[in-house]
Amino acid sequence: METALERTLTIIKPDAVRAGHVGDVVKMFEANGLRIAAARMATLTRREAEGFYAVHRTKPFFESLTAFMSSGPALVMVLEGENAIARLRKLMGATDPAKAAPGTVRKLYAQSIERNAIHGSDAPETAAFEIAYFFAGIDLV
Ligand code: GDP
């Protein structure tokens, strides 16, 4: 089978950082073939959160989402691995934790459809945009 070494962007969101789940989530990444290529703790400004989620600016939850995402420290990371984008999406679980599969990050740690513990890029184009939004090439190891 064809495999591709990919990079994807993840954010352990402010709810999961606040609840002390960083170590548990990073352990899940490493146990599932996702290597950390860059990592940075950051409290996003409202503007930074709005830029990151610009694709959702017309959604009814945009105000609430960007307020939440800038509400406290988050851990922004680039992960690398075979088919990293799809691999991370599977490990994350569905957006709504009530619909997330057992053993996924969101099933285990999300509080609600908005405070859902983790972000992961959904396609190669979004991964490229999101990685460049937070990191320079020199930051990737
Ligand atoms: P993801 O790719 O699974 O993160 O989901 P989306 O790209 O559709 O949405 C981006 C983020 O917006 C989600 O991770 C949630 O934090 C939030 N979100 C999505 N849908 C809803 C919703 O219906 N209500 C609220 N309040 N937040 C939502």
- Rounded Cα distance between 79 and 17, Å, is 18
- Give the angle subtended at the CA of 39 by the CAs of 37 and 42, to the nearest 5°: 155
Look up 56 and say whether it is catalytic.
no
Q: What's this model's pTM, rounded to 2 decimal places?
A: 0.97
Look up the CATH number of the domain holding residue 39. 3.30.70.141
Helix axes 84-92, 22-31, angle to 10 degrees: 130
**Any residues with Cβ below 6 Å from ligand 1, and which?**
56, 61, 64-65, 95, 113-114, 116, 119, 122
- Rounded Cα distance between 63 and 100, Å, is 24
Marked catalytic residue, from 68, 84, 119, 127: 119
pLDDT in tens, 54-70: 999 999 999 999 999 99
Range of the domain at 59: 5-139
Structurally, the chain folds into a number of domains equal to: 1
pLDDT in tens, 91-116: 999 999 999 999 999 999 999 999 99
User: Rounded to an integer, what is the distance from CA 100 to the centroid of its chain?
Assistant: 15
